[in-house]
Amino acid sequence: MIIFTDVDGTLYDYDLKLPQSAVKAIKKLRENGHRVYMVTGRSKAENKKEVWDIGFDGMIGGNGSYVEDDGEVLMHQRISYDQCKRIVDWCHERNIDFYEEANEGLFASEHFVENAKEPLKLYSLGKGKTKEEVEKLEVKNTIHGIIEGEELYRDDLNKVSFILHSYQDYLDAVKDFPDLKVGTWGGRDEEALFGDFGVKDIDKAKAIEVLLKHLNEDVKNTIAIGDADVDIPMLQYCGIGIAMGSGGQHIKEVADLVTDNVDKDGFYKAFKELKLI
């Protein structure tokens, strides 16, 4: 089988802790001859060494804009320099802070680290953490790979995430950027705390299709596991779709299997139930 796994909320819990049971499951899956790919909104720079050390056959990043198999880049669709310039100017005009997501790093706007603390606290609270647990949250510890003070007009971006003052910012972004894919992410039940700009007409399922064509593999031999609305296309596309118990209601409704919460060994339990480990 070929397994496609989301990262945040699926492998990692919402306190950015990696359950050792998930690491054990991936290692065992690969020992048993299955291929395992991470499929994530993250760009390569956002993955700590401990993620790579788990062992993967490849990566789909930027929610589908980047596809890599065994070190070979199969596809990389980027936000253009002109699109990036428009995003940066639009955000500055609205006093919206943001960070640009590239494989080489996550490039933050002038006050992002300062102003992202509160929405990231809400993100963690919405995923079940207590006020005491999030009180000392630090942005750079929560989003790995943040770099400050670099040039913001760039041509190497997979995505741009931005802090929402209100949901109207998202609606205005959709209207003002018809040439880009605009989404939201955040707290409990997909609450919109951040917006993001991405390459238009991409998603995790389309990226998986590119990879399967390269591998000459049938989609019937695939399993996808995730926790959020952005994971729904790949769960619907793959042969078996698994939703985390700590995931949103929408993804649970389309899943073939709903496993336990991420911090209750849900990843391991899912593949144990499928008798793959």
Contact at 8 Å (CB) between 219 and 207? Answer: no
Query: What's the predicted TM-score (pTM) here?
Result: 0.86
Q: Which residue shows structure tokens 């950027």?
A: 177
**Concatenated DSSP letters of the chain:** -EEEE-SBTTTB-TTS---HHHHHHHHHHHHTT-EEEEE-S--GGG--HHHHHH--SEEEETTTTEEEETTEEEEE--B-HHHHHHHHHHHHHTT--EEEEETTEEEE-TTHHHHTHHHHHHHHHHTT--HHHHTT--HHHHSTTEE-SS----S-EEEEEEE-SSHHHHHHHHHH-TTEEEEEEESGGG-EEEEEEEETT--HHHHHHHHHHHHT--GGGEEEEESSGGGHHHHHHSSEEEE-TTS-HHHHHH-SEE---GGGTHHHHHHHHTT--
Q: How many CB atoms lie within 10 A of CB 21?
A: 15
Q: Looking at the domain covering 2-76+202-273, what would its CATH class be?
A: alpha beta
Domain boundaries, the chain: 2-76+202-273, 81-199
Contact at 8 Å (CB) between 88 and 152? Answer: yes
Q: Which residue shows structure tokens 């899956």?
A: 29
| Backbone angle region of 219, left / alpha / beta, with phi > 0 → left and psi within -120 to 50 → alpha | alpha
Do 2-76+202-273 and 81-199 fold alike per CATH?
Answer: no
Residuewise pLDDT in 10s, the chain (277 residues): 999 999 988 998 766 789 999 999 999 999 999 999 999 999 999 898 999 999 999 999 999 999 999 999 999 999 999 999 999 999 999 999 999 999 999 999 999 999 998 888 877 676 666 677 777 777 887 788 999 999 999 999 999 999 999 999 999 999 999 999 999 887 555 568 999 999 999 999 999 999 999 999 999 999 999 998 899 999 999 999 999 998 889 999 999 999 999 999 999 999 999 999 9
Q: Which one is the CATH code of 81-199: 2.60.40.420, 3.30.1240.10, 3.40.50.2000, 3.40.50.970?
A: 3.30.1240.10
The two structure tokens encoding residue 247: 């995931």
**Concatenated DSSP letters of 188-199:** GGG-EEEEEEEE
